[in-house]
Chain A
Amino acid sequence: MLLRHTPKEVKDRKALTINPAKTCQPIGAMYAALGIHGCLPHSHGSQGCCSYHRSTLTRHYKEPVMAGTSSFTEGASVFGGQSNLLQSFNNLFSIYDPDIVAVHTTCLSETIGDDVSQITQKAIDEGKIPAGKHVIYASTPSYVGSHVTGFSNMCASIAKYFPEKQDYELDQVNILPGWVEPSDMREIKRLMSEMHVPFVMFPDTSGVLDAPQTGFHQFYPKGGASVPDLKRSGASSFTFALGKFSSEAAGEELRKKCDVPYEVMEVPIGINATDRFLMKVSEVSGCPVPESINDERGRVVDIITDMQQYLHGKKVALFGDPDILIPLTEFLLAMDMKPVHIVSGTPGKYFMERMKEIMGDDFETGNVKNGPRADMFLLHQWIKNEPVDLIIGNTYGKYIARDENIPFVRMGFPILDRIGHSYFPVTGYAGAMRILDKMLGAIMDQMDREAPEEKFELVM
């Protein structure tokens, strides 16, 4: 009983978070920056932040994650980090030779008031940024928002910096995939190819954080959105900003800078959200959804048909990032399951509004919370009061799942103890199949494990 210290009685907490269902901005910014080819993220602050973010991303992806740090000392925190950042540019470009350095701040550099944009300008003015190289930056104070906010901020910076406005329109669309896995980005790209729709996707961590073993340690693996593609994105006819929390800001920047119209859509998880996404892509591009994709959809529906008796009425507790939870909840409801406890550490009113829309009456009877003190401790207390049949969330859910003996499906960030997330998508119809496979597997494995001998059956 690892969480034996969790009491059943829910008391209002005022000042603390126990077992957080979120983390801080810079790691999101680092992840987004890794989705640009030849980009080296740089953390402007103490060494620890950078080290933690690299470690966590490394554990999640089992891949080398590179990033520089300004290595703040006490001096830098008193006199400001300008000289550290200038020296960093020197060293980063001369040693690691990135095409792009993506600087993000930390709570420390934000609080002492370092103006990264001014410092960067100074570096450019002083010729410290080699010709043809780029520096982008995002303000990512750790005490605002969450890791999702940091991801969004870095995406917005990418959208602000690279796309070039043109007076012509290219026959292509932009896809801002939101904070999803390399596998999901790969899947969305596959769907687009299947539909013959030309596109630019950024960030794109496929090929970066799921790189093959080559016998070399490549500082800049071959994946990631390229600079020419990013530049061209300014001439696209439309932008799909997937996930309001992670992609809306970038969509808006692209519109402001290059007049590319955009629509915020949900990350295509489950049948409804995928339907909506593909229909919209079809509408914008004029390319019909091909038979092959319709067949995939049909297979998902077929699985649900075959298995509905095991899905009906199953109570689910879920936690994670809002852009994932929203379509996932909708998918669970579509399968006649009952999402009863939902927690997201990421703040933002829209989450509750949208959940209310999706859940209808279930919203009132269920427990839904995001923002301050929406943490795993609370989720555990809710589960103690109203047990569930399944938990879906990142690795940290394993404590609750074990203590309460509840089947558990890993989905979200971070997943530190399993593989699969970077290779198999949860988006699109293929992703819906994988979610079904994982959920049914978890639920039925437990039934098999715990069924009394006389009720143990070959066929389920």
Chain B
Amino acid sequence: MEAAILKDRENQIFIKEQSQGEIACEKSSLAGSVSQRACVFCGSRVVLYPVADALHIVHGPIGCASFTWDIRGSLSSGPELHRLSFSTDLREMDVIQGGEKKLERAITELGELHKPSAVFVYATCIAGIIGDDIAAVCKRTAEKLGVPVLPVHSEGFKGTKKDGYKAACDALAKIVGTGDISGIPKVSINILGEFNLAGEAWMIEDYYRRMGVEVVSVMTGDGRIGKISKAHGVSLNVVQCSGSLTYLAEHMEEKYGIPYIRVSYFGIEDQSRALYDVADFFSFNPELRTKAEEIVREEISVIMPRIQYYREKLAGKKAAVYVGGAFKAFSLIKALRLIDMSVVIAGSQTGNKNDYKQLEELCDPGTVILDDSNPLELSRFVLEKKADLFIGGVKERPIAYKLGIGFCDHNHERKIALAGYEGMINFYKEVYSSVMSPVWKFAPRNNRRKSHE
């Protein structure tokens, strides 16, 4: 099939130094497109999911709960409540008569059974449409159970995944500020937007601890309600996944006067900057900066020789990057550049104007920049630009493989830590194993290339 571009999407595709004007973004997806995006509920669910001592009750038909059952490898060092799937499983009669009673019973029954530290109640499309007063149910049951019961207004149709992040932040904001903050030292931070996939939060926390910085809470990786409730006791919020948790950081700045910085833990440069920026914030204690430099030196000296190996093998290879948030794309471009790989396609599902501006600055001329793309465009540009690697999420993986190129998951499906210094090695190793896999020797695309050469 001839790969065409949807006319209405033309201005969401930008080629550096070839396209005019600026990229269009933050639009809702075109009806009828095969979009890779998800919904508001999905946004809330993935942000709050790692809070391990809370109940996550999905108020809606069964699908919303079953499709989000344990879809993120967010590790917990204690309770595993978050990995269970609770649903009110709304049926036809509930849709007609309303689901409030069912929800109330569900919260009560589960509250008594599991004694959670808090309950999150997710409103799905249908709960929103039938007009259940979820907030009222939450209020009533909170009194009964004696723990916070928080509505998460994540009706699927009320915007994009981003709006779901905001709904999740609103729920978290209700917990923040409820705990006792006496005893929290001045040199203390929260890490926001770090979900402890493959234990990444533990690695990052460890760096900060080695510097002498106390991490009061991580939101939400290995999250606990108790820790989140004390989050307002810190001096600084460090925001990793900017798309998801910036709202909360802004809220905390406004309400508690806690400033925030944006960081990334992906890539040597960004990881190091994340440590230095925190050290510089606490400049009254120069010791922090010295320690940070020590850590960076130490860690880099361990990984650099190993990186050299991958650079030798992978230099000159080309990558396509299509990820959820744009911030992640920046880090990936830098990380690939370090081993002399270039990025020929860069895109995100939810970037804003500013993000794309930065992305453009970072990219090489000719790079295709995409907003809210779809499989047809992605596979067309991958072939056109002769990419050797695709970095994306679950729905992109088989497309890349069908095209005969390597793939690296930088989303839900990854099982290895990619953050921090150790994560860089893991990342290069994964890229290497995929791009250089002997399977491509058997792949038709490779044969075709050979015959062209």
Contacts and interface: CB of A to CB of B under 8 A. Distances in A.
Interface of A: 1-5, 7, 11, 13-20, 22-27, 42, 45-56, 58-59, 61-74, 76-77, 83-85, 87-92, 94-97, 106-108, 111-112, 141-144, 146, 211, 213-220, 345, 372-373, 377, 396, 399
B193 to A, nearest CB: 21
Contact of A26 (B63, B66, B444): B63
Given A63-B398, A215-B443, A16 B157 contact: no
Contact of B105 (A11, A14, A20, A64): A14
Contacts of A213: 401-402, 404, 443-444
B397 interface: yes
Contacts of B63: 23-27, 49, 52, 107, 142
A300 B157 CA distance: 52
B94 A16 contact: no
Interface string B418-453: 000000000000000000000000011111100000
Contacts of B89: 16-17, 20, 372-373
Interface residues of B, number: 85
Contact of A48 (B39, B126, B397, B398): B39
Contacts of A1: 80
Given A16-B57, A46-B39, A76 B84 contact: no
B70 to A, nearest CB: 8
Given A16-B89, A95-B4, A68 B32 contact: yes
Given A88-B32, A146-B62, 7 more contacts: A50-B35, A52-B42, A55-B67, A63-B398, A69-B34, A107-B61, A143-B90
B35 A69 contact: yes
A91 B32 contact: yes
Contacts of A214: 402, 444
A87 B158 contact: no
B126 A74 contact: no
Interface in B60-100: 60-69, 79-81, 83-92, 94-95
A20 B398 contact: no
A372 to B, nearest CB: 7
A7 B156 contact: no
Contacts of A3: 80, 84
B273 interface: no
Contacts of B1: 96-97, 219-220
In this complex, the member of A4, A15, A26 whose beta carbon has the largest number of chain B beta carbons within 10 angstroms is A15
B39 A64 contact: no
B91 A143 contact: yes
Contacts of B402: 63-64, 211, 213-218
A372 B91 contact: yes
Contacts of B90: 107, 143
A144 to B, nearest CB: 5
Nearest to B448: A215
A393 to B, nearest CB: 14
Contacts of B302: none
A83 B83 CA distance: 39
Contacts of A51: 35-39, 42, 395
B134 to A, nearest CB: 14
A52 B125 CA distance: 14
Contacts of B136: none
Contacts of A13: 109
A317 B81 CA distance: 24
A23 B64 CA distance: 8
Given A7-B113, A85-B31, A143-B94, A19 B69 contact: yes
B357 interface: no
A112 B444 CA distance: 48
A71 B66 contact: no
A219 B41 CA distance: 28
Nearest to A70: B31
B443 A48 contact: no
Given A52-B38, A68-B33, A143 B157 contact: no
B61 A77 contact: no
A68 to B, nearest CB: 5
A48 B394 contact: no
Interface string B1-41: 10011101000000000000000000011111111111111
Given A5-B84, A13-B109, A142-B61, A66 B375 contact: yes
Contacts of B79: 5
Contacts of B95: 107, 111, 143
B62 to A, nearest CB: 5
Contacts of B114: 5
B85 A20 contact: yes
Nearest to A14: B105
Contacts of B158: 73-74
B329 interface: no
B399 A16 contact: no
B102 interface: yes
A213 to B, nearest CB: 6
A215 B403 CA distance: 4
Contacts of B64: 24, 48, 52
Contacts of B31: 69-71, 83-85, 87-88, 91
A56 B68 CA distance: 10
6 closest Cβ contacts across the A-B interface? A48-B39, A24-B63, A91-B32, A88-B32, A215-B445, A15-B105
B203 interface: no
Contact of A71 (B8, B35, B65): B35
B147 interface: no
A100 B61 CA distance: 28
Nearest to B90: A143
In this complex, the member of B4, B84, B94 whose beta carbon has the largest number of chain A beta carbons within 10 angstroms is B84
Nearest to B114: A5
Contacts of B160: 47
Contacts of B33: 68-69, 71, 91, 95
Contacts of A211: 402
B354 to A, nearest CB: 23
Contacts of A215: 402-404, 443-448
16 contacts: A15-B105, A15-B106, A16-B106, A23-B67, A48-B40, A50-B35, A68-B32, A70-B32, A71-B33, A90-B32, A91-B32, A107-B61, A107-B90, A107-B125, A215-B444, A217-B379
A25 B63 CA distance: 8
Nearest to B113: A7
B62 A20 contact: yes
B135 interface: no
A143 B29 contact: no
A5 B30 contact: no
B295 interface: no
A37 to B, nearest CB: 14
Nearest to A144: B92
Nearest to B45: A48
A107 B126 contact: yes
Nearest to B8: A91
A48 B448 CA distance: 37
